[in-house]
Amino acid sequence: MLYAIHLVCSGTDFPHTVYFVAGTQAENPDWNSIGIFKVSNVSGKRRELVPTKATTSDSDMDADNSNSDSDEDSEDEEEGGSAAPILQLRKVAHSGCVNRIRAMTQNPHICASWSDAGYVQIWDFSTHLNALAESETEVPRGGSSVFNQAPIFNFKGHKDEGYAIDWSPRVTGRLVTGDCKSCIRLWEPTSGATWNVDATPFTGHTASVEDLQWSPTEDHVFASCSVDGHIAIWDARLGKSPAISFKAHNADVNVLSWNRLASVMLASGSDDGTFSIRDLRLLSTKSEEDKSLVAHFEYHKHPITSIEWSPHEASTLAVSSSDNQLTIWDLSLEKDEEEEAEFKAKTKEQVNAPADLPPQLLFVHQGQKDLKELHWDAQIPGMIVSTASDGFNILMPSNIQSTLPSEGA
């Protein structure tokens, strides 16, 4: 079962090529691995419909459609091969389940993984990425061998396993990790492939730290969320206690996303299926009233498993839930009373007319079982990769979506 996933890099040429890493959670700890994936020939090309002529016989139409398909196939081949995406994979053995994996923003061949055995490891996957870049051979299902590779750094100083981990987008190599014992540790890179991990952890939460996010504009500021229902904002220059902490949800706060394009906006998802948007400019330690909450959605009815702002549209974010849905939202949209009245008038006689939906809801992707994580592609607008217990999907809601089963899932 693929659990954790993170995009490494992609190409902007069409058809697209996407690289990403993903980790497994197998029944036997020795069966786990990190997969380095390359998916090429991702086109999502929309075929033109053949015009229907009243005077054309059925047989002529069939012949025309056949010729049209042949022409389209020829165009597909000229533009980059067959219409089917090509999956390539290299596996690296990983001791224990991969709770979460993240690629460094500045050097995406460097990745950090959280193991359920209680340690964090840093990996250099440049050899595997180079090998994939030079190869065009598709890997047969179940046919990829597993490489035994030592991590370049291994930290066992956390007192328990964890899920929270994030690379700084501003300071190369800077990392924060959080564990299930409510401790957060800051990693500072040194010369060579080593890190100094702060011996004194950041403390302030009263339960497991579930997610961490660096500020997109401040070198020393990051946010955390916890099973205790709180979100905390930290400034590493001010000591080991949070600069501000506030109750964010009435249940566990599972995931966070800091908007890279509108840095005052922070999104969070909870175990009760709700997700919220906050304006950090309105946070205050002096007022008991929470004025920072600008939006709160109760569409999902099961735990939120992943949330992420689009890197291309400041008002757009994607959310995945244990209800087997991935939804995309545009917070700039508002309710249109006229449109709603017209819609209800058209559907009032339908027995199965849909219930009222939030106007901000743009898209619902279904078909995956037990959705775990999603990420937007930073270079290809609109592209999302999502992972679940039955594999991963690559989708582009603005175009035709490509759906790929995971090897070995």
Tell me the average pLDDT of the chain: 84
Average pLDDT in the 66-79 region? 48
Establish if 105 belongs to a structural domain: yes
pLDDT score for 290? 76
> What is the rounded distance in angstroms from the CA atom of residue 300 to the CA atom of residue 277?
15
How many other CB atoms are found less than 10 A from the CB of residue 190? 10
Q: Which residue has the higher pLDDT, 69 or 107?
A: 107
pLDDT confidence band for 390 (50 / 70 / 90): confident
pLDDT score for 189? 97
Does residue 405 surpass a pLDDT of 50? no
Residue 119: domain span: 1-44+71-156
Average pLDDT in the 86-92 region? 93
Average pLDDT in the 376-383 region? 90
Does residue 159 surpass a pLDDT of 60? yes
pLDDT confidence band for 407 (50 / 70 / 90): very low
pLDDT score for 341? 67
Rounded to the nearest 10°, the torsion over CA 275, 383, 408, 122 is -80
> What is the rounded distance in angstroms from the CA atom of residue 163 to the CA atom of residue 184?
11
Establish if 14 belongs to a structural domain: yes
Does residue 73 surpass a pLDDT of 60? no
Does residue 80 surpass a pLDDT of 50? no
Establish if 20 belongs to a structural domain: yes
Q: How far is CA 13 from CA 10, 17, 113, 131, 383, in A?
A: 9, 8, 30, 20, 14
The order of strands in the sheet holding 2-10 is 2-10, 16-24, 33-42, 86-93, 146-147
pLDDT confidence band for 65 (50 / 70 / 90): very low
Average pLDDT in the 115-127 region? 97
Does residue 139 surpass a pLDDT of 70? no
Poorest-pLDDT segment among 5-9, 70-74, 263-267: 70-74
> Please, how many CA atoms are within 13 Å of residue 407, restricted to the half-sphere of its CB?
23
Does residue 119 surpass a pLDDT of 70? yes
The count of structural domains within the chain is: 1
How many other CB atoms are found less than 10 A from the CB of residue 7? 22
Residues 20-42 pLDDT 10s: 999 998 889 889 999 999 998 88
Percent of residues, the chain, with pLDDT higher than 90: 65
Establish if 84 belongs to a structural domain: yes
Q: Which residue has the higher pLDDT, 66 or 321?
A: 321
> What is the rounded distance in angstroms from the CA atom of residue 26 to the CA atom of residue 370?
15
pLDDT score for 357? 86
Establish if 122 belongs to a structural domain: yes
Establish if 233 belongs to a structural domain: no
Q: Which residue has the higher pLDDT, 61 or 326?
A: 326
Residues 227-240 pLDDT 10s: 999 999 999 999 99
Establish if 212 belongs to a structural domain: no
Does residue 66 surpass a pLDDT of 50? no
pLDDT confidence band for 89 (50 / 70 / 90): very high
> What is the rounded distance in angstroms from the CA atom of residue 263 to the CA atom of residue 281?
10
Contact partners, residue 79, CB within 8 Å, separation at least 6: 14, 15, 43, 45
- Give the tokens for residue 89: 């994979």
Establish if 198 belongs to a structural domain: no
pLDDT score for 238? 95
pLDDT confidence band for 217 (50 / 70 / 90): very high
Does residue 83 surpass a pLDDT of 90? no
**Burial class of residue 359, CB neighbours in 10 A (0-12, 13-18, 19+):** middle
By the 8 A CB rule, do 368 and 362 touch? no
Q: What are phi and psi of 228, to 5 degrees?
A: -75, 0
As a three-state string, the secondary structure of the chain is: CEEEEEEEEECCCCCEEEEEEEEECCCCHHHCEEEEEEEEEECCCCCCCCCCCCCCCHHHHHHHHHHHHHHHHHHHHHCCCCCCCEEEEEEEECCCCEEEEEECCCCCCEEEEEECCCCEEEEECHHHHHHHHHCCCCCCCCCCCEECCCCCEEECCCCCCCCEEEECCCCCCCEEEECCCCCEEEEEECCCCCEEECCCCECCCCCCEEEEEECCCCCCEEEEEECCCEEEEEEHHHCCCCCEEEECCCCCEEEEEECCCCCCEEEEEECCCCEEEEEHHHCCCCCCCCCCEEEEECCCCCCEEEEEECCCCCCEEEEEECCCEEEEEECCCCCCHHHHHHHHHHHCCCCCCCCCCCCCEEEEEECCCCEEEEEECCCCCCCEEEEECCEEEEECCCCCCECCCCCCC
Q: What is the pTM of this model?
A: 0.83
Average pLDDT in the 158-167 region? 97
By the 8 A CB rule, do 156 and 96 touch? no
pLDDT confidence band for 403 (50 / 70 / 90): very low
